[in-house]
Structure 1
Amino acid sequence: MEYINAFWVGGLICALVQILLDRTKLMPGRIMVLLVCTGAVLGILGIYEPIQEYAGAGASVPLTGFGNLLWQGVRKAVDEEGVIGIFLGGFQASAAGIAGALIFGYLASLIFEPKMKE
């Protein structure tokens, strides 16, 4: 059942994003920023945590999950470090994921020989 919940929640998030792409004139970069900010705001309001517990990776993998992760890091760092935690928390919470994406992206580029689009 966990896989089904992850699938439909993640699919719903992706479908809503696709509707935004198709029906509005928003650029993809702005929609990505909107998703990250939405995840952070839902985290602040305490709404995203129950969704993430219910859907697992279906809620933590999309960009809304990244926004929530940044919020969780900032909240923890502010509790421990004070005001300076506003600037440190997001970096500390997301460092492993960002580093992994860079490393695996680089390794994939070595294996598959990327080409420029024409």
Structure 2
Amino acid sequence: MDYINAFWVGGLICALVQILMDRTKLMPGRIMVLLVCSGTALGFLGLYEPFVKFAGAGASVPLLGFGNTLFKGVREAVQTHGFIGIFEGGFTSSAVGISAALVFGYAASLIFEPRMKK
């Protein structure tokens, strides 16, 4: 049953994101940021952990799960190191490659001008 729940929940998340991409003028990068921020907010509200327990990898693998992972890392680092944990928690809780992708993606957004879909 765990596999079935992971399959349909992950598929539902992907289908909703695909509908969002097809029906709105949001660029894929903004949709990805929306997903990560939504996962962070759901983690903060305590709603994401029960969701992960029910859906397993179907909830932890998509970008919503990444946002939740970042939140958990920041929360633990703030409890341990105080204010500086805000900056270090997200980097230590996720893989180095993903953290580098965040930093370089943000740097690219400062250099290049994003455009809306027509």
Q: Same fold (TM over 0.5)?
A: yes
Runs of 4 or more above 4 Å deviation: none
1:16 aligns with 2:16: yes
Relative contact order higher in (CA < 8 Å, ≥ 6 apart): 2
Superposed CA RMSD in Å reads 1.5
**Equivalent residue, structure 1, for 2:65:** 65
* 2:76 counterpart letter in structure 1: K
* 2:20 counterpart letter in structure 1: L
Residue ranges of structure 2 left out of the alignment (5+ in a row): 102-118
- CA deviations 1:26-61 (Å, max 9, x no partner) are 000000000000000000000011000111100000
The sequence identity of aligned pairs, in percent, is 75
* Larger gyration radius, structure 1 or structure 2: 1
- Calculate the TM-score normalised by the size of structure 2: 0.81
Residue ranges of structure 1 left out of the alignment (5+ in a row): 102-118
- Calculate the TM-score normalised by the size of structure 1: 0.81
**Equivalent residue, structure 1, for 2:42:** 42
Alignment of 1:1-118 (within 5 A): 1-95=1-95, 98=98
